[in-house]
Amino acid sequence: MPRTPPTSLTPAAERLLAAASDLFYARGIRAVGVDTIAEAAGTTKKTLYDRFGSKDALVALYLAHRAQRWQQLLDEELATDRSPVDRVRSVFDAAGRWLDGQERGCAFVNAYAEVGGTDHPALPVIRAEKEWMRQRLVALAAEAGAADPEQTGASIHLLYEGALVATTAGNDPHALDTARAAAARLLG
């Protein structure tokens, strides 16, 4: 059973997390071993295991930190004074900025493709990020006066998730714009 990761990290643990984050996103979780992570961080495998308990726990922490960064960026984007419909549109704008230079798309979808169907400790993190985003869009749909905020927000969430995949895996440079316009139409 993986240990619960620490809430504050030592400098070596921070280097390990940073190296693992870059490597997991660029190459995939299964393709990156602990030797590679330790070497990239300038530490040892023992340090990795001492700080995180397991590679699986490090994967979960990588995704949790990534979710935290995205949620902070989105919250900052939504904190500006805009109409409710424009706030929904701005979700897609923020996603476009987030994806800039990230050719592998959504780290959570990528991670699920590798660990889904198992009891990997990253699964609750993946699901929590997807649920957070859905709930955020439901709340925005309510603010925009949608007749059925739950259904409208869930529909916008599907547009958002589909646009992320279409942008990267589908190589569609207009997917986020298309989803953005469709979301605005859903809100009337």
- Non-local (6+) Cβ contacts of 114 within 8 A are 28, 29, 30
Structural domain contains residue 157: yes
Q: What is the mean pLDDT of the chain?
A: 93
> Per residue in 39-67, pLDDT tens?
999 999 999 999 999 999 999 999 999 99
Structural domain contains residue 1: no
* Distance (Å, whole) CA 57 – CA 82: 39
Task: Outline where 28-174 has alpha helix (H).
Answer: 34-41, 45-52, 55-78, 84-99, 107-115, 122-143, 149-168
> Per residue in 144-180, pLDDT tens?
999 999 999 999 999 999 999 999 999 999 999 999 9
Residues 30 and 74 in one domain: no
Structural domain contains residue 37: yes
The pLDDT value recorded for residue 8 is: 80
Residues 136 and 151 in one domain: yes
CATH number, domain at 37? 1.10.10.60
Structural domain contains residue 3: no
Structural domain contains residue 158: yes
Residue 172 phi/psi, 5-degree rounding, is -100, 105
Residues 23 and 73 in one domain: no
Residues 90 and 148 in one domain: yes
Structural domain contains residue 72: yes
The maximal CA–CA distance of the chain, rounded, in angstroms, is 57
* Distance (Å, whole) CA 4 – CA 61: 9
The alpha carbon dihedral of 98, 99, 102, 107 has a sign of positive
Q: Is the pLDDT of residue 5 over 60?
A: no
The pLDDT value recorded for residue 4 is: 44
Residues 130 and 167 in one domain: yes
Residues 180 and 102 in one domain: yes
Residues 110 and 181 in one domain: yes
Residue 90 pLDDT grade (very low, low, confident, very high; cuts 50, 70, 90): very high
Structural domain contains residue 117: yes
Q: The pTM is what? A: 0.91
Residues 27 and 89 in one domain: no
Q: Residue 93 is encoded by which pair of tokens?
A: 């704008």
**Domain around 32:** 8-53
Residues 87 and 139 in one domain: yes
Residues 93 and 151 in one domain: yes
The pLDDT value recorded for residue 7 is: 59
Residues 166 and 135 in one domain: yes
Which region among 97-101, 124-128, 158-162 has the lowest average model confidence (pLDDT)? Answer: 97-101
Residues 155 and 137 in one domain: yes
Residue 1 pLDDT grade (very low, low, confident, very high; cuts 50, 70, 90): very low
Which region among 6-15, 28-37, 105-114, 136-145 has the lowest average model confidence (pLDDT)? Answer: 6-15
CATH number, domain at 101? 1.10.357.10
The pLDDT value recorded for residue 137 is: 98
For the chain, the domain total comes to: 2
